[in-house]
């Protein structure tokens, strides 16, 4: 039992690319602080995706490190976030979490999958539920504001990685990362800050900035690309952050729910560029 608890917590920690059980526990506390339903979704999605990977006999090491749990964690939260908690959405979490493990297995053979399995699985869930008119998307009301709130935007930039529009939850997420890695924590802080400031610079909606919607993808980009041994890291991270904001804005303009697709696409692009530069050098 203890082993499965550890794997589950590692899976939650891996949402921020942190392989640490205590970090995962603090993340889970942060989610439950904001919403017990989202907390339940995180656990349900994590367990389903992890056990499906075990049934499919995927890499034991990857499973134990939580790499088949974090996409399911996000699928569970996202499904309850967009459609509420009911019998249909529980079935959707079951389907989406299993699918995320399958997608993770195949994408990871060619390129780091990051949260792409979550994005693809959740887009499919949203399409099926809305196409069949089973349920409507739940829209969260915006707090109207004409003034930029730096503290709110940066802290919620952490929280929004897991759909948590809550300052305390965002702070707990930062603490959780800090416990595992100071470099990751301050890289993430830089990501959320620069993502928000760049969004201000190009005049994106203040309300969206203040609730962290242009910071959370930047947070993940900064963590994924941080590398203390490379002189070019700062430049690559900054470029990925800016790119993630532009991609996020583009998705919003064409009315596609972006999820963490901007993070995945921006990071893949930077990895491709880095690989090309290394070959030239």
Q: Which class in CATH covers the domain with range 2-131?
A: mainly alpha
Instruction: Give, for all 281 residues of the chain, the pLDDT tens digit.
Output: 778 899 999 999 999 999 999 999 999 999 999 999 999 999 999 999 999 999 999 999 999 999 999 999 999 999 999 999 999 999 999 999 999 999 999 999 999 999 999 999 999 999 999 998 888 787 666 666 678 999 999 999 999 999 999 999 999 999 999 999 999 999 999 999 999 999 999 999 999 999 999 999 999 999 999 875 566 688 999 999 999 999 999 999 999 999 999 999 999 999 999 888 877 76
**Distance between CA 245 and CA 255 in Å, rounded?**
15
Residue 153 structure tokens? 């935007």
Global pTM reads: 0.95
- Enumerate the domain spans of the chain: 2-131, 183-276
Number of Cβ within a 10 Å radius of residue 201: 11
Residue 261 structure tokens? 């697709």
Those residues whose C-beta lies under 8 Å from the C-beta of residue 86, and which sit 6 or more positions away, are 135
Residue in this structure with the two tokens 């493990």, named with its chain if needed:
101
**Distance between CA 140 and CA 193 in Å, rounded?**
23
């Amino acid at each position: 039992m203890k082993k499965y608890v550890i794997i589950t917590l590692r899976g939650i920690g891996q949402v921020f690319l942190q392989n640490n059980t205590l970090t995962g526990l603090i993340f889970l506390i942060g989610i439950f602080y904001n919403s017990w339903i989202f907390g339940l979704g995180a656990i349900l999605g994590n367990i389903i995706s992890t056990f499906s990977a075990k049934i499919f006999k995927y890499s034991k090491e990857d499973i134990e490190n939580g790499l088949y749990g974090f996409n399911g964690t996000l699928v569970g939260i996202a499904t309850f976030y967009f459609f509420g908690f009911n019998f249909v959405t529980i079935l959707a979490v079951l389907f989406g979490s299993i699918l995320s493990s399958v997608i993770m297995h195949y994408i990871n053979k060619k390129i780091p999958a990051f949260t792409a399995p979550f994005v693809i699985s959740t887009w499919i869930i949203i399409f099926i539920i809305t196409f069949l008119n089973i349920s409507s998307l739940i829209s969260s009301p915006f707090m109207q504001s004409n003034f930029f709130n730096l503290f709110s935007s940066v802290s919620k930039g952490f929280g929004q990685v897991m759909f948590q529009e809550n300052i305390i939850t965002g702070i707990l997420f930062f603490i959780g990362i800090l416990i595992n890695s100071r470099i990751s924590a301050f890289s993430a802080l830089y990501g959320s800050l620069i993502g928000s400031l760049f969004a201000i610079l190009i005049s994106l909606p203040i309300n969206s900035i203040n609730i962290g919607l242009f910071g959370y993808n930047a947070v993940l980009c900064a963590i994924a690309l941080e590398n203390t041994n490379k002189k070019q890291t700062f430049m690559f991270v900054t470029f990925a952050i800016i790119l993630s904001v532009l991609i996020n804005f583009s998705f919003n303009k064409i009315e596609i729910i972006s999820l963490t697709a901007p993070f995945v696409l921006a990071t893949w692009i930077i990895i491709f560029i880095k690989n090309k530069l290394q070959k030239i050098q």
